[in-house]
Chains A and B, each alone.
Chain A
Amino acid sequence: MNWGYFASQLFQSLLAVLLAPLMLGWVNQCRAWLQNRTGPGLLQPYRVLFKLFHKDAVLAYNASWLFRLAPYVVFSCMVLAASVVPLVATDLPFSLAADVIALVGLFALARVFMALAAMDVGTAFGSLGARREMLIASLAEPALLMVFFTPALISQSTALTTIVEQLAHRELHLYPSMAFAGVAFVMVLLAENARIPVDNPTTHLELTMVHEALILEYSARHLALMDWAHALKLMTYGAIGIALFLPWGIAEAGNWAMMPLSVLALLVKLAAGGAGLAVLEMVSAKMRIFRVPEFLGVAFMLAVLGMLIHFLLEV
C-alpha cells in the first residue's frame, strides 16, 4: 500500500463531493436556457447550501433520533457510493470493498433511511412520499442490477474498476448488448434521481411530488445534507454511466501524468451528460404515477434483453 494509492482515492472522493452541486447547477442552467430563462447561475446550489448551513434547524416536536440521524446516514452513503465509482483514475482502494452489487445496496440503504425519516414525523405528505419512493425504488433496483450484469458479464468481474479497465483498454468493439443496457440505465437514472418523466424536481404541488415530499419536514443543515446527498447521487449516477458506457480517457492505475487530461475528459463528459439530461427533461412530460411501473418495467426488460443478446451474439 503506497501513499499514491490513497491520495488518488481521497482526490476522487473530494472531487465528487465538491463537484456534485456544480453538476446540479449545470443541469438547472441548461434547463433554464432551454426554457428561454436566464437561470440562477451555475453556483446557485452552493449558495443554497451555504445559506442552509447558516440557519437554525427546526424539528417537529415528535421527531425521534431517527429523523435527526437520517441526513447524516444518507449523506455518508452517497459519499461512499461516489468513492467507489472511478472518476478520473482506476486505482481506488475503496472499490475493492464494494462492487456494483454492494453499490446498489448502498443506494438502497440511503433510501430506506430517507423513507423511514419521512414517516417518522407522521405527516401525511411524508408517508405519501415514502410510499411512492418505495414503489419506484422496488422496480428501479432490479432494473439497475440487471443493467450492471451486462458489463459485468463482458468484463468477467463485478468490481467497477476492473470493468472500466477492461472496457477502456481494449480495442474498439461494438457491443449491441451495451446499447440495451445503456438505454435501460438512462431510464433508471431518471427514475432514481427524481427527474422529469417520473418526478418533477422543481414541483411543490402536493399531488405529484415524490422526492420533495420525502424531505418536506427538513430544514437548515439537515435539508442541506439531504440536498447535497441528492446532488451527489445524480453525480454518482453520471459517473457510473460514464464508467460503463464511455470509459475512454480515464487514467490507468498509478499514471499521475494522465490525471489532468483525465479530469478534463470527465468534466467534458459530465457537462455533455448534464446537457443531455436537461434536453431529455425538456422534451418529455411528467407521467402519471401509475405509468411509472410500466416505464421501469420497460427498463428492466431492456436490461434483461441486453444480457440475453450478450449470450447470443457476443460469447
Chain B
Amino acid sequence: MNISFAHQMINLMAALLLLIAFAMLSQRRILRLIHLFAAQGLVLSLNTAIVAATIGQPELYRSALLTLFIKVLLLPWLLRRLIDRLNIRWDVETLVNIPTTMLVGIVLVIISFNLALPISQLAGTITRSTLGIAMASVLISFLMMITRRKAVPQVIGFLAMENGLFFAATSTTYGMPMVVELGIALDVLVGTFIFGIFFFQIRETFDSLDIHHLEKLKDRE
C-alpha cells in the first residue's frame, strides 16, 4: 500500500477513535454506549489491519482478527445480554453534567497531545503521530469511568480504556507480542464475565446498580 495514503488512513482512524471516545463521554443511554464501544473496536481492528498491510507484518492481521472477534462481536453481545437480563436499557446517571465533562475532556486532549509530542518524535514507526490520540482516548475513558454513577457504564469505560491502550501499543511499537495480546484479550473477556456476576450480586444486595451504595458499611445501617 502507498505509504502516504496509508499514513493518512491511519490518521483518519485515529481521529475516528477520538471522536467515538467523545461520543461515549456524551452518551446518556447504555444501549448506545455499547454500540459505540463496538464501533470503537471496529475502528481499532481496521487500523491494525491497515498498519499490517502497510508494513507487511502478518502477525498484526491475526491481532486485527482477534480484535474484531472479541471487541466487535463477543463483548458487545455479552454486554447486551447483560443489560437485557438486568433490564437497564436507558438511563445513565452522571455525577458531573455533560458539557462540563466535555470541557474536561478537551483539557485532557490538550494535555496528552503535549505529552505525546516529544515521545512520538523519538519513535520511528509510521504511526507515531497517533500516540497523542491514543493517550487522549485512554484518559477520556478514564474520565468516563470516574464521572458515571452506575456500574455498567463504568465497565464499558474500562473496556474502552483497554481499547485506547491497544491503540497506543499499535501506534508506538506495531503491537505487542502474540502471547501478551492473547493474555490481555482473555483478561478482558474474563473480566467482563466477573463484572457480569458482580452486577447481579450488587443488585441483589442493594436493589440498584448505583456504585454509591458500596460506600456504606453494612453494620452501620
Contact = CB atoms under 8 A, between A and B. Distances in A.
Interface of A: 173-174, 176-177, 179-180, 183, 293-294, 297-298, 301-302, 304-305, 308-309, 311-314
Given A302-B22, A305-B18, A312-B129, A174 B8 contact: yes
B9 A174 contact: yes
Interface string B86-100: 000000000000110
Size category, B interface: 20 to 34
A305 B103 CA distance: 11
B11 A313 contact: yes
Interface string B10-35: 01101110110010001000000000
A309 B22 contact: no
B11 A174 contact: yes
B15 A309 contact: yes
B110 A308 contact: yes
Contacts of B12: 174, 176, 179
Contacts of B26: 294, 298
Interface of B: 8-9, 11-12, 14-16, 18-19, 22, 26, 98-99, 102-103, 105-106, 109-110, 113, 117, 129-130, 132-133
B102 A180 contact: no
Given A174-B8, A301-B106, A308 B113 contact: yes
Contacts of A313: 11, 14-15, 129-130
Given A176-B11, A308-B113, A294 B18 contact: no
A311 B113 contact: yes
Given A308-B109, A313-B129, A313-B130, A180 B8 contact: no
A313 B130 CA distance: 7
Given A308-B113, A313-B14, A301 B98 contact: no
Given A180-B15, A308-B109, A312-B133, A297 B8 contact: no
A308 B15 CA distance: 11
Given A174-B11, A301-B22, A305-B19, 15 more contacts: A176-B16, A179-B12, A294-B98, A294-B99, A297-B98, A298-B22, A298-B26, A301-B103, A305-B18, A305-B22, A308-B109, A308-B110, A311-B113, A312-B132, A313-B129
Contacts of B98: 294, 297
Nearest to B110: A308
A298 B24 CA distance: 12
A177 B113 CA distance: 14
Nearest to A306: B15
Contacts of B8: 173-174
A140 to B, nearest CB: 14
A81 B132 CA distance: 38
17 contacts: A174-B11, A174-B12, A176-B11, A180-B19, A183-B19, A297-B98, A297-B99, A297-B102, A298-B26, A301-B102, A301-B106, A308-B109, A308-B113, A309-B18, A312-B129, A312-B133, A314-B11
A176 B103 contact: no
Contacts of A311: 113
Given A174-B11, A304-B106, A293 B132 contact: no
> What 9 A-B pairs come out closest when comparing CB atoms?
A176-B15, A297-B99, A174-B8, A313-B11, A301-B102, A176-B12, A312-B132, A312-B113, A174-B12
Q: Which of A180, A294, A305 is most buried by chain B, counting CB atoms within 10 A of its CB?
A: A305
A49 B199 CA distance: 61
Nearest to B117: A312
B143 to A, nearest CB: 13
A312 B114 CA distance: 9
A293 B102 CA distance: 12
Contacts of B109: 305, 308
Contact of B102 (A179, A298, A312): A298
Contacts of B22: 298, 301-302, 305
B14 to A, nearest CB: 7
B141 to A, nearest CB: 16
A172 to B, nearest CB: 9
* Interface-central residue, A183, A298, A304, A309, by most chain B CB under 10 Å: A309
Contacts of B11: 174, 176, 313-314
Contacts of A293: 99
A171 B110 CA distance: 30
Nearest to A177: B15
A262 B15 CA distance: 32
Contacts of A298: 22, 26, 102
